[in-house]
Amino acid sequence: MKLVESFLHSGVKSYVGLIDYVDGNVALMFTIRLFYGFINHDKTLEEVVREARLTDEETCTFRVYKQYETDLFYIRMNAFHI
């Protein structure tokens, strides 16, 4: 969580990170699906992360963290809700 807080306190609006170790191929597939959603479908960060997390059971470990004013909020994202 310290890494997330460091990014968000430095002015970053959103941070996508892991809660556990994943294989390099899993990280690559998640990243490809994430940017594919941005580039080809003009979706929001929450939408593309939700879809990229559906790739397999390991991609579910990715999370979105956002800065709202002065508070840090963790957005739990899964197949059913944001």
Per-residue pLDDT of 1-60, as tens digits, reads: 788 888 888 888 888 988 889 888 999 999 999 999 999 998 999 999 999 999 889 999
Domain limits for position 10: 2-75
Domain membership flag for residue 80: no
Say how far apart CA 82 and CA 80 lie, in whole Å. 7
In-domain check, residue 81: no
Residue 9 covered by a domain: yes
57 assigned to some structural domain: yes
* Residue 10, H or E segment: none
| Confidence (pTM) | 0.73
Asked, for residue 64, whether it belongs to a domain, the answer is yes
Cα–Cα distance measured from residue 82 to residue 2, given in angstroms and rounded to the nearest whole number: 23
Of the two residues 74 and 40, the one the predictor is more confident about is: 40
User: Per-residue pLDDT for 74 more than 80?
Assistant: no
